[in-house]
Every structure is written in C-alpha cells, then in structure tokens.
A and B are shown apart, each in its own frame.
Chain A
Amino acid sequence: MRTAKATVGSPTAVTREYRRTPFGRKLWHQRQLALMSVPMLLYILLFNYSPLWGWITAFMNYKPSVPLFENEWVGFQNFVWLFGKPEFLRAIRNTFAMAAINLVFGFVFPIALALLLNEIRSLRFKRTVQTVTYLPHFLSWVIVVGIAQTIFAGDGAINRMILALGLAEKPVFFLGEGKYFWWLVGGINLWKECGWNTIIYLAAMASIDPALYEAAEMDGAGRFRKMFHITLPGIKSTFMVLLIMNIGYLMEAGFEIQYLMGQNVVMDWSQTIDIFALKYGINKGQYSRAIAAGIFKSLVSITLMLSANFIAKRMGEDTLL
C-alpha cells in the first residue's frame, strides 16, 4: 500500500521523462479524465472498428459454412452487381430523398417550436407543452406505424375527414401510392421526434446571457427583434454542430419505419439501402452483396460529413473535427 502511494506522489524517472513533452504533460494533467474514457474507447474499438475487418467478405463469394479464406475471391463483382441493379439505384435515391426531408423537417420545426416555447412566460404551460411534445419519442416504431396505418387507411380518420369535407371523391390511397410515401415518413418522423429535438435548442437558448436581452430591450427591441438578433445567433454554433453531425447521418434515412410501412405496392419508393441489403443480401443468403451495400453507404457518409465540416470551417463556424 505504502509503495503504491509513493509512486503516485513521486513519479518514476520514466514518467518524469514522459511528462517533459507537451502532450505527455497535458495527458498527465488530465489522467483521471483519460482513464474514464478508456472503457468508451475499448467499446468503440471492439464494436465499431474490429467488425470492419469483415469488410473483406465483400470481395468474396462468401458462404458462412465455408472457412473464411477458403471462399472464392471475386474482386469487385458484388459492387458491379449492385450498381447494375435498378432496385439499388432506386434505394440510393429513396435514402437520400427521405433523409433530406428528415433533415429539413428536423431542423426547421424543432427550432421553431423551441423559439415559441422560449417566449412563453407561464412556466407550467411551457413544461406541459414540452412534455406532451416529446413523449412520442419514447414510443416504439411498431406502435407509431400502427397508429399511422390506422389513421391513413382508406377508412381511417384522415380519409373520412377528406371525404366529409368534399376534398376528394374517393379515399386517397396514402399507404399504397409511391408519391405519398416519402412525405408520410417525413411527417411521422416529425411527429415522433420534434419535441425531443427541441430540448437541445432550449438548453442552448437558456445559456444565452440575459444581459443581452436587457440591453436589447433598453434599445427598444421588441420580441421579434430579440428572437432574430439574439436568440437565433445565440444558438448558431449548436445548430452548426448538429447540422454537420446530421449530414453524416444523411444516409441513415431510418430503417424501422420504411420496413414496417413499405408494403409491396410502394416498394419502389420505400426501399432504402438498409432494406435493400437485408432483402437481397441477408434474406437471400448473399451476405457479400449486403456487405458491399453497407460499405458503399459508409463511404458516402464519411465523405458527406467531411465535406460539411470543411465547408463549415471555411465559413468560419464552429466545427466538429
């Protein structure tokens, strides 16, 4: 026990040497923090980096029953197959379209809601609205999609309303026509996540120095002027960081919702890259094709995120990296 204490108190020659370099000194100062991050680091290495080694199967005709290196190497054949398949090209289009809709909805509406909530004086009312709007976040997709399917069905609430108001002569086939699918997904996502997403903006708004508002008031600024000139610029850096992160997720248009809602009739509009990989890869036992699709997706995501980061840096904004 005693010796251990001594080591902490008086570092050995080696650590002393190490502490001479600026990086070493910094690390030593933050040693508790560094130690705490080790489990996370291990977690990421184990679950996010080490599986990458399986990517080599994308260049094989991989059969799980055959030992790994006895599989036949096929070069880029799986990628060629992917890009020759119209379903895959459609899946790319669908993924981007739905992700873009989600991205725009996911910024505009939560920020608007956060701005409105921020202006509310009655704390109780504000809290209630906040709670009510973020509760759907905790519902599972199966339930949300079930509700949506009932509401948008041919004899569902929305169609009854449309028919009663005389807006259409026969029920609109929301669930079975491709042109509605992306917007339905966007809308349902919005309903589920909007409230949840406002939390971070509300937090950013709370950290704005109240003196700014007071000064603006002295200068005669009204509510809207304060919103535009203080609140919005105040959350700009939060906004930028989130934007860059979300651009990285642009290829993640979601999986559950398309999987649960995308019936055969609308498959041209509903299949995302993930669903394509599942359907043509895992379900058909063509694991290499599924992995090839996954690799493509990852590469595009990384490219997108790095370019967004680069552009943000050029514009002089806070960046992620």
Chain B
Amino acid sequence: MLRVTKASVESLMILMEEDENMRKLVSLLLLVAMLGTLPVLPAVAEGAQEPLTVTVFVGEARDQPTSDNKIFKKIEEEFGLKFEFEFLAGDLNETLGVKIAGQDYADLMDGGNYAEKLIEAGALIDLMPYISQEKTPNIYAYIEPYLGRLLNDAGQLFIIPNYGRYYNTEEYGMNYVNGPAFFLQKKVLAWAGYPMIKTLDEYFDLIERYVAANPTNDKGAKNEGFAILCDDWRAFCLFNPVQHLMGRPNDGDVIVDIDNNYKTEAYVIQDYAKPYYKKLNEMYHKGLISQDTFVMNYDQYIAKLSSGTVVGMFDQAWDFNNATDALKAAEMFDSTYQGLPIVYSAEQAGKEITEHYLNGTVINVNRGFGISVNCQHPERMVQFMEKMLDDEWQKIIWWGVEGEDYSMENGRFVRTYDQIQNAANAVWRNANSAYVLTNSMPKKQGEMDDGNKWDPLVQPECYYLMMNDYDKDFLTHYNMKRPLDFFNDPIKLAPYGEAWQIDSTVNQDANDAKLAFQDLERKMLPQIIMCEESEFDAKWDAFVTAVKDIPITDFVDFMQEQILNLVAKNTAK
C-alpha cells in the first residue's frame, strides 16, 4: 500500500516538473489524497457536540483509566468529552495550597476533604446561575430537598454533592458498616463464643483476654491489641470515639445536645472524655497498645491491618477498605473486622447511654466536583452532569453495561459472582468503569423507580452472593442477616445535618482555633495515653487548660451559631 503510494507520488513529481499547469493539478490531487488519509473520525453519535478535552483534578491517589476504557468511550461518543486526569500524589492539603498559590486549576476540581479551601480561595465558580428547574431538571431535583444546607449565606453553590442523595427511600440503604465503629477481628468474637459486646469495658476486656491467650497470630506474628491511627486528618481515630461512646453520631470536633436547644461543646476536654483516655492509658501499660501506633503513617497502618495482627481499633470502615480487601485476597477472612457499637457504661458517662452510631441518609455537603474559574465551558460541564443524572446513565455508572456487567432477571438487576469480583477489582475497573470520574459526580442513591437499588453493593441479591462462607457462618452464630444488624437503626438526621460538614474556613478566628485545637489533640493525647498512671490527672488537666487557652471558644461559639442557623433554615421549611 505504502509502496504504491510512494511510486505514484514519484511519478506525479516527474509530471510536475514537466508542465506548470500540470503542477497545479497535481497539487490539488495531492491535497485531496492527503485529506483521504486523515484518520477516520469516530462515528459521531446523535446530539454529540464538538470534541473537548476536560482536565480533572481528583484529590485522591488513584490509577489512570486505560485509553480504551469502555465507559469513557461511551461518554466520548455521546458528549464529545475526553478527560485528562491528575490524581493526588502526596499530601492533599499541600497540593491544594500550591495549586491555589499558582492559580493552577483543572477544569473540574475535587478537593476531597479540603474542598473548602478551594471555595475560600475563590477557585470555584458559583453553579446556581447554571441550575434551574427548566435548564437542569435532574440537578434541580437532586439538590432541591437540601437547598437549605447546600447554599451558603449568599445563596451560592460551588459543589454538587457526590453522595448522599437518596431517591424513593428514607432508609439508610446499607447492608454493611461503612462509618465509625469500634472494630474487632471476627476470629476474636468467634474465640470468645460469639458474645454481644456493648460497653467499652467489655470491649477492652475481650481484647486483653484474647491477646493473653494468643500472643501471636497463626502465622507467628505478634498480635497487637488496639491500634490508633494518628496521621494527619485521619487522627479522628484518636479523638472521635468520645462522641460515639456518648451515644452520638459523627459531628466532627463537637458534640451537640439535641435535647437541650442544640447546645454545642468540644467533647474531648469534657469530664466524660477522661474515662476513655484513662482506659487507653491502662491498656498502654498492659502492653496492648504499642508505642509505634502514635508515629505510624497511614500506609504503615494499612500494612499492619492487612497483616492480620491488629486485634481491634476505632476507625471508619471506608478508611481501611484497602486492608479489608487485602485480607480477603489473602483469604484471611477470620481476620477481617466486625464493627461494634460500643458505648460508655452509665457510670462512665454519668447517664444511661443508647448507642446511635448510624445517622439517617446524609447529603455529602461540599464533596465532589466544583468547576474552576479556569474552565472555559462551565455551561457544558453542568449540562454534562445533568445528562449523566438521567436514569439511563445512572444505570451505566452504578451497574455497567447490561449483559456484560450485570443482567436482568424478572425485573431485578443481578450480577454473577465473577461480575461482583470484577467490580471490586481495581485493575478491572481501570478498563471497564468510569469510577474515577463518576465518584466525584452527583449520583442517585437509594432505589430506582422499579424498586431496584442504585448501588449494587446494597442490592440484596448481590450482597448475599458476595458474602463469603466465613461471614455467612459468622452471622449465623449471631442469628443475623447483615453485619449492620449489630447496630441500632439509624436515627433521623438532626436538622443541622452532621456538624463535621460545617465549613469553618469562612471565619479566620474559628479556623485558627480549630487547627490549634487539633494540633494539641494530636500532640498531647498520645502523651497522655503513654504517661505514667500517677501523672495521668496532671497531664489531663494540662491538656484541658491548653485547649481552653487557645481559646477554643472561638471555634465552639462559631459552630454553635452555625448549627442554630442551619436548624432555623431547615425547620422553617
């Protein structure tokens, strides 16, 4: 083919030299020939727009999707959009700080847990001008019930939440524990004869007995009683437990008394926080908490959990998914974790506590994509998100392609065991899922109109198929169907939502106080846990004084005000 072309060009060249007129003709012919050799453009689907490459920043470390990823191909065919990803490498807070300093924003920015920084720095545009019932019916329906919580005081919206909008159901919609809990290896509960563990004392007592009887695991590695992750923002594992022990769901750094006019306080410095750290101090001196736990980073933590030597810890399940996957991959099913709703005894708390670990459905305020000021096509981006909220696209996002990734049986969405395994496989996802993009986009959760669940993990058929035999057997001993049955039903969400979502960066003093507070917690709480028992009270008092001297009221008063505002906004409606 090539040779023929070359030969014909050569003969044309000879002709060209002979005649001036011929030359013009030949040039024309050559031009036509060149146009013919241009790569054939992909067949343009109906409604497609001119091709556009969109740059995307995602504040999490992920893999690049493969170039022939089947879902991204579909998106390109329908919307003419190509995506260029930048994933997080290193520390998110720093990366954003540097990006802000250089005004170096991708078109779509997912600032993860520090998204407020982007808003504060003016990196994102207000989306409300692009959203209306007529122009974007899907998005409007998506945010409408939560407008009171989503819009700021100026009526602006910078990020359409990526999770937490439940359709057709008020139900929590999970079968598994994804949030906070005191976790314990399943084999420990099995060893003890499947008891119900409810209080802090019972929990640590079991850990103590288990480690005494089993100093090493079945591979001969030393067992560690209780791990505490203290790395960066994940240090919530160190200070969040107190509010849950007091029977409240996750409100971040404060605890809110909903029965007492939403009175807000910083719980770590209250008297009821002391028994928890006293207990940890005791456990430390018994050798059940290793000193290394206070200096390990997140990767080391995951590595430790994955090795199956950590008996228990407080955490949120999504925070150690990687370790759970690793344990399953190594078929160490008995070393995976069961979350337990541990609370204080009446004596420790000063009152009777009912556990309330689970909140009702929560809209994920300020988490997901914002459109940056550098984006040239904001209208098109919003329209893209709008179209992706169509049921047809939502099915692709959640379930994939029918016949390949799932099938329909009697009106139900089902997956085979292999399809379920695929969906959990990171390498498979690189080529067959647009997860890296859609994870940050608004999504429907809850139920479809026909009663199927949007999230395959929540679809009962898939969930039971996915559970391994060990887990099924484990739950049978408890006479339960789901790991979630260990918990009380979710409480209806308070009108202010979850207080951790409240953005304190808008108030410099409150923000300075909050960061100073967290620094003190990270620095002094480990020292308190490790100190001699005789020094405990003095160290505790020093900590409380230091926090009060910040002054912490700068932060707490701000939170109190915001919570009352939100309550007023959301109950008036």
Q: Residues of A with Cβ closer than 8 Å to B? A: 63-66, 149, 153-155, 171, 173, 175-176, 263-268, 278, 282-285, 287
Contact = CB atoms under 8 A, between A and B. Distances in A.
A154 B222 CA distance: 13
A268 B373 CA distance: 39
A283 B94 contact: yes
Contacts of A266: 295
B527 A285 contact: no
Contact of A264 (B122, B292, B523): B523
B94 A65 contact: no
Contacts of B122: 63, 65-66
Interface of B: 93-94, 97-98, 100-103, 117, 120-123, 222, 230-231, 235, 290-292, 294-295, 297, 373, 505, 511, 515, 519, 522-523, 526-527, 530
16 contacts: A64-B100, A64-B102, A64-B103, A64-B121, A154-B292, A173-B530, A176-B526, A263-B230, A263-B295, A263-B297, A264-B519, A264-B526, A265-B230, A282-B94, A282-B97, A287-B101
Given A65-B123, A282-B101, A155 B526 contact: no
Contacts of B522: 264-265, 267
4 closest pairs, A vs B, by CB? Answer: A65-B122, A264-B522, A282-B97, A263-B295
Given A265-B526, A278-B94, A176 B117 contact: no
A65 B103 contact: yes
A284 B515 contact: yes
A119 to B, nearest CB: 42
Contacts of B117: 285
A71 to B, nearest CB: 13
A287 B102 CA distance: 11
B98 A282 contact: yes
A74 B94 CA distance: 25
A153 B295 CA distance: 9
Given A65-B103, A65-B123, A265 B97 contact: no
Nearest to B522: A264
Contacts of A282: 94, 97-98, 101
Nearest to B93: A283
A29 to B, nearest CB: 45
A154 B295 CA distance: 10
A63 B522 CA distance: 29
B523 A268 contact: yes
A268 B294 CA distance: 15
Among A66, A173, A175, A282, the most chain B Cβ lie within 10 Å of the Cβ of: A282
Nearest to B511: A284
A93 to B, nearest CB: 16
Among B103, B222, B526, the most chain A Cβ lie within 10 Å of the Cβ of: B526
A284 B98 CA distance: 11
Given A63-B122, A64-B121, A268-B523, A155 B97 contact: no
Given A65-B103, A265-B523, 15 more contacts: A64-B100, A64-B102, A64-B103, A64-B121, A65-B123, A149-B295, A153-B292, A154-B291, A171-B291, A173-B530, A176-B291, A265-B294, A266-B295, A285-B97, A285-B117
A64 B373 CA distance: 13
B523 A283 contact: no
Nearest to A284: B515
A293 to B, nearest CB: 14
Nearest to B527: A265
Given A65-B123, A264-B523, A285 B100 contact: yes
A69 to B, nearest CB: 16
A268 B527 CA distance: 12
A318 B235 CA distance: 53
Contacts of B120: 285
A283 B97 contact: yes
Nearest to B515: A284
A268 B520 CA distance: 11
A82 to B, nearest CB: 14
A176 B121 contact: no
Contacts of B523: 264-265, 267-268
Contacts of B103: 64-65
B554 to A, nearest CB: 15
A263 B121 contact: no
A168 to B, nearest CB: 13
A285 B503 CA distance: 15
A205 to B, nearest CB: 42
A28 B295 CA distance: 61
